[in-house]
Amino acid sequence: MVDLLNAIVLMLNFVIIPATSYGAQLALGALGVTLVYGILRFGNFAHGDTMAFGTMFTIFFTWLFQGLGLSLGVLPTALLALPFGIAVTALYAVSMDRVVYRHYRFKRSAPVILTIASVGVMFVTNSFVRFMIGTNEQRFSDGQKFIIKAREFKEWSGLSEGLKLKTTEALTIVVAGMAVAALFWFLQRTRMGKAMRAYSDNEDLALLSGINPERVVMVTWIITAALATLAGVLFGLDKSFKPFTYFQLLLPIFAAAILGGVGNPLGAIAGGFVVAFSEVMVTYPYKKFLKYMMPENLEPSGLMQLLTVDYKFAVSFIILVAVLLIKPTGLFSGKVIRA
Element (H, E) at 131: helix 111-133
Regarding 206 and contact with other proteins (CB under 8 A), the answer is yes
Nearest CA to 246 out of 48, 47, 87, 21 is that of 48
**Which amino acid belongs to residue 180?**
V
Nearer Cβ to other proteins (149/197): 197
- Count Cα neighbours of 198 within 13 Å in the Cβ-side half-sphere: 18
Contact between 65 and 30 under an 8 Å Cβ cutoff? The reply is no
Among 105, 154, 194, 287, binds other proteins (CB under 8 A): 194
Nearer to other proteins, 81 or 206 (CB): 206
Which lies closer to other proteins via its Cβ, residue 1 or residue 208?
A: 208
302 binds other proteins per the rule CB under 8 A: no
Contact 255, 275 (CB under 8 A): yes
State the nearest-atom distance from the C-beta of 260 to other proteins, in Å. Answer: 15
Residue whose C-alpha is closest to residue 13's, from 159, 116, 128: 159
Q: Which stretch binds other proteins (CB under 8 A): 26-34, 89-97, 195-203, 293-301?
A: 195-203
Cα separation of 251 and 52, whole Å?
Answer: 15
Residue choice 135, 144, 190, 202 for contact with other proteins (CB under 8 A): 202
- Kindly state whether residue 95 participates in binding other proteins, applying the rule CB under 8 A: no
Binds other proteins (CB under 8 A): choice among 195, 228, 257, 275: 195
Q: Which of 210, 302, 310, 339 touches other proteins (CB under 8 A)? A: 210
CB of 191 to other proteins, least distance (A): 8
| Angle ∠(136,240,219) on CA atoms, nearest 5 | 100
- 35 near other proteins, rule: CB under 8 A: no
Minimum CB–partner distance for residue 29 and other proteins (Å): 23
Tell me the sheet residues that pair with 72. Answer: 75
- Is 137 or 201 the residue whose CB approaches other proteins more closely? 201
Interface residue with other proteins, options 201, 294, 306, 338 (CB under 8 A):
201
Q: Of the listed pieces 160-168, 203-211, 245-253, 275-283, which binds other proteins according to CB under 8 A?
A: 203-211
Residue of 2, 178, 182, 207 that binds other proteins (CB under 8 A): 207
Q: Applying CB under 8 A, which of residues 173, 198, 281, 293 lies at the interface with other proteins?
A: 198
Determine if 296 is a binding residue for other proteins (CB under 8 A).
no
- Alpha-carbon distance 153 to 167, whole Å? 15
Nearer residue to other proteins within complex by CB, 143 or 213: 213
Quote the DSSP letter at residue 166: E
Window 154-193: contact mask with other proteins (x via CB under 8 A): -------------------------------------x--
Element (H, E) at 87: helix 78-96
Longest CA span, the chain:
73
Which neighbouring-strand residues pair with 75? 72
| Euclidean distance between CA atoms 25 and 171, whole angstroms | 11
User: Which of 26, 219 has the CB closer to other proteins?
Assistant: 219
Q: Taking CB under 8 A as the rule, does residue 209 contact other proteins? A: yes
Q: Is 145 helix (H, G, I), strand (E, B) or coil?
A: coil
CB burial string 295-312: b at 16+ within 10 A, e below: eeeeeeeeeeeeeeeeeb
Contact positions vs other proteins (CB under 8 A) = 191, 194-195, 197-198, 201-202, 204-211
